Chains A and B, each alone.
Chain A
Amino acid sequence: MGEMDTLKKEADGLKAQIEAARKAVNDTTMAAVASGVAAAPRVQLKNRKTLKGHLAKIYGLHWSADNRHMVSASQDGKLLIWDTYTGNKVYAIPLKSSWVMSCSMAPSGNLVASGGLDNMCTVVNIKAASPKTLRELDAHEGYLSHSRFLSDTELLTASGDTTCCLWDLETGKQKVIYKSHVGDCMCLAVSPDQNTFISGACDSTAKLWDIRDGGCKQTFIGHTSDINAIAFYPSGTAVITGSDDCTLKMYDLRADQEVNGYQDAALNAGVTSVSLSSSGRLIFAGYDNFNCNIWDSLKAEKVGVLSGHDNRVSCIGVPDDGLGVCTGSWDSFLKIWN
């Protein structure tokens, strides 16, 4: 047997052992455990504000930690920073490349990051006398699909080159590269304790990483297509994923497997984006079919819909205080609901 065959046989054997170990702890279902919980009330959220200003498809949004400001990115070539209480635009930042795929804001509110088909992540200081580019992080060999700040000095990125990366913003250099996915990385989410992060990729898997040592700790399977969106539950013990296979899945990190699935036979649109209400009870999922569905995490039932966009919902976010949910769309509008 050649070396390739030996290695493959070994890997297959280990995968079978992993599946057996997962099965061995699979003594119940979330549906059974949650059967005694009262159903979530039918959720009827109203569109309180529509933020108008972008001139093309919106690809990303991210709330500030101050629960009031928000950054959005559009292929009109601009990042806009909004005061969501008044609906006013506070800053408009022109992008060198208009092919933006994501944006994020640092917890401090001082910095925003964006990137896309330019393969770069551009970090801008918005609190300088006038917004000023701090860094152009230029080492990924594929598009930048997602980014999240750990602080004003560290940033995580996910890329179409199949890797994720931790950057030192003081030097502009890569600190850690996270290598294990075999498909484009599409999304990432940081654990509440900031020791780990989870990534979703076009290889249909989600992977949990140790931020500091770069090691992949766990791999979650089950999706049958690209994972476009991912989020941590507030407890830090579970994650939710959204995929082109039209489903969402909850994976428990300690059981190391899927514990709940969210799908509807009538739904044949891919999930583009996902966000959670403050307790984690409600999942907000944006789909290719212009809507956002609201799911009960525990009972896996659809409990509401946000309709109002005239095109794909590409991004969703709930601020830390949980007072509302914002949807961003290819129709160029952002809508705030509660």
Chain B
Amino acid sequence: MAESSNSDANSRKRRKIDPDSQTRWRSEAEQRIYSSKLMDALHHVRRPGSGGHDAVRDAADRVLAASARGRTRWSRAILTNRLSLRLAQINRKHKKAAKPSAGKSCSRKPAKKLPPVESKVKVLSRLVPGCRKVSLPNLLEETTDYIAALEMQVKAMTFLTGLLNAGAAAPA
């Protein structure tokens, strides 16, 4: 069903996310795929010294983005921005240490548009990865898909944590 909607959307020069993102992310098959892929990824992240929870979280996000199959903007942003994001974060940390935080707030307060809706839309666009310069209707679509995907991610990770906890505790 996703493919058919995609083909229609391609003819209109606009890639539409399939409208029932809820069913897509809530299907059992999807959860199974995600969990198994996450296990695989965790295999590779097993080096204990490197990053710890950040590495795990990035791996989880990457796997989530991979299971989106590149149809959504946020998934593509996650997959492509791994390294560049890290560099940007490092740069930002250096800059933050140099600049006082007051300077930043002063530069942002005299905004042209003060409608609270607009500022909230900006906050939301910052939360969803890769959606900063996206128009409002597209942003809302991406948010819908992102929320559904995050919920699935939380479920899967909870399950895996319990599994591993229990499994590890059993022989002990």
Report whether chain A binds chain B: no
Question: Which A residues contact B (CB, under 8 angstroms)?
Answer: none
